[in-house]
Amino acid sequence: MKQVFLKFWPAAAWFALIFILTSIPSPQIPVINVRHLDKLMHFFIYLPFGFFLTRALGTGGLKRLLLVAAVCLAASACDELHQMLVPGRQADVFDFSADMAGAALGMAVYWGIQKLRRGRGRAAPGPDLT
């Protein structure tokens, strides 16, 4: 049980941070006039979430990666819907797309690191949740 907690706490803590950041009302967010900056922020905020969640669930095949993708999709959808309740914020399908793209890259980075480690004989398998 302790090992599972140690694997999952970074993903849970990161999503808590995302939830806190998206709870900030729009008038309190500084305005920076850079085109598509908000999409880049969504992308780079969800990238570690995808990485941490893949680390927690492991890369043991397509089913495992699809589970990670489904959890990222659900988390991003919940986050976007949550923003509808925050003054001055709104749900945006493009933000959702940027979230998922960032999470997908985070998943791919973790998967790539594990593949490199396996090639060197140092990979540690993820928890067996099947």
| Predicted confidence (pLDDT) per residue in 48-106, tens digit | 999 999 999 877 788 888 999 999 999 999 999 999 999 888 888 999 999 999 999 99
Q: Check whether 129 has a pLDDT greater than 50.
A: no
- Residue 24: inside a domain, yes or no? no
Residue 112 lies in a domain: yes
Regarding pTM above 0.85, the answer is no
Domain of residue 91, residue span: 2-16+37-120
Tell which residue, 92, 81, 79, has the closest CA to residue 36: 92
Structural domain includes residue 27 = no
Q: Which two tokens stand for residue 95?
A: 């933000």
Task: Report the C-alpha dihedral over residues 41, 18, 101, 92, rounded to 10 degrees.
Answer: -80
How far apart CA 49 and CA 43 sit, in angstroms, is 10
The verdict on residue 91 lying in a domain is yes
What's the confidence (pLDDT) of residue 101?
97
- Residue 41 located in a structural domain: yes
**Residue 25 domain-assigned (yes or no):** no
